Structure 1
Amino acid sequence: MLKWAFIFLIIAIVAGLFGFSGVEEAAATIAKWLAGIFLVLFVGAVAIGLAIGAKLTS
């Protein structure tokens, strides 16, 4: 599960680089939305991964 969290982090960083650098208005808007979505998915995946990991080790 943490593997997916890091994948979402990489995707969010790439989307942020394109979105916040002012490449093009339409692409920047889409990239900003994607950056937000993938950051939320990253945080959720980390939380679930830690919760499942804690249950598996105890």
Structure 2
Amino acid sequence: MLGWALTFLIVAMVAGILGFGGIAGAATGIAKVIFLIFIVLLVISLLANALRGKTPKL
């Protein structure tokens, strides 16, 4: 999921450089939403593992 967010961010930057403002804005918005979903799922996962008593494996 983080990969998708980074992909949309790169698309937004390239579109912004080339002057496609509408596409850049849309891609930026999509990247923000996907990144926020990623952060929420990460926090839920970390809390679930903490409540189970498991330590993260590195």
After TM superposition, the score normalised by the length of structure 2 is: 0.73
Q: Hey, which of these two has a bigger chunk of helix by percent?
A: 1
- 2:28 paired residue number: 32
Task: Please report the RMSD computed on the Cα atoms of aligned residues, expressed in angstroms.
Answer: 1.5
Identity %: 20
Which structure has the larger Rg over C-alpha atoms?
Answer: 2
Which one-letter code corresponds to 1:32 in the other structure?
T
Q: Which has the higher contact order (CA 8 A, sep 6+)?
A: 1
Structure 2 unpaired stretches of 5+: none
Aligned pairs, number? 51
Give me the whole-angstrom Cα distance separating, in 1, the residues matched to 2:46 and 2:36: 16
Amino acid at match of 1:16: L
Equivalent of 2:7 in 11, 14, 18:
14
Unaligned runs of 5+ in 1: 1-6
